[in-house]
Amino acid sequence: MAWLVLVVSGGLEAVWATALSRSEGFSRLAPSLVFLVAVVASMLGLGYAMRSLPIGTAYAVWVGIGAALTVVIAMASGEEPVSVVRILLLLGLVGCVIGLKLAH
């Protein structure tokens, strides 16, 4: 159960990071509210997962999932360029997250 919560929390990290960017310094209400809800839920999930998973593994997986999804969202929305090298590096990051799960 901790792994499932951790993966969802990592996804929520991408949501709050994207919302933070779109809030324009908290001057836009809707993205600011999405940021607030997602950051609280993400942190609660990370905290829950850390009760049974090692801190280093949990944090690395959470950050890795959040970072990878944030870049994918930015590339899909046209905010960041898409290239073969970037995609390969993201796949490497996802592979490392999977490796941490398998090594646990």
- Convert the pLDDT of each residue in 43-97 to its tens digit: 999 999 999 999 999 999 999 999 999 999 999 999 999 999 999 999 999 999 8
What's the total number of domains in the chain?
1
0.95 surpassed by pTM: no
pLDDT above 80: residue 104:
no
Contact 53, 6 (CB under 8 A): yes
Contact 3, 48 (CB under 8 A): no
**Structural domain range at position 32:** 2-103
Query: With bands split at pLDDT 50, 70 and 90, how would you rate the model's confidence at 100?
Result: confident
pLDDT at residue number 101:
85
Would you call 92 helix, strand, or coil by DSSP? Answer: helix
> CA nearest 17: which of 27, 31, 29?
31
Query: With bands split at pLDDT 50, 70 and 90, how would you rate the model's confidence at 22?
Result: very high
Query: Which two structure tokens, joined as six digits, stand for 29?
Result: 């209400």
> Distances in Å between the alpha carbon of 88 and those of 48, 64, 83, 84?
31, 14, 9, 6
pLDDT above 80: residue 103:
yes
Contact 58, 46 (CB under 8 A): yes
Report the pLDDT averaged over residues 29-55: 98
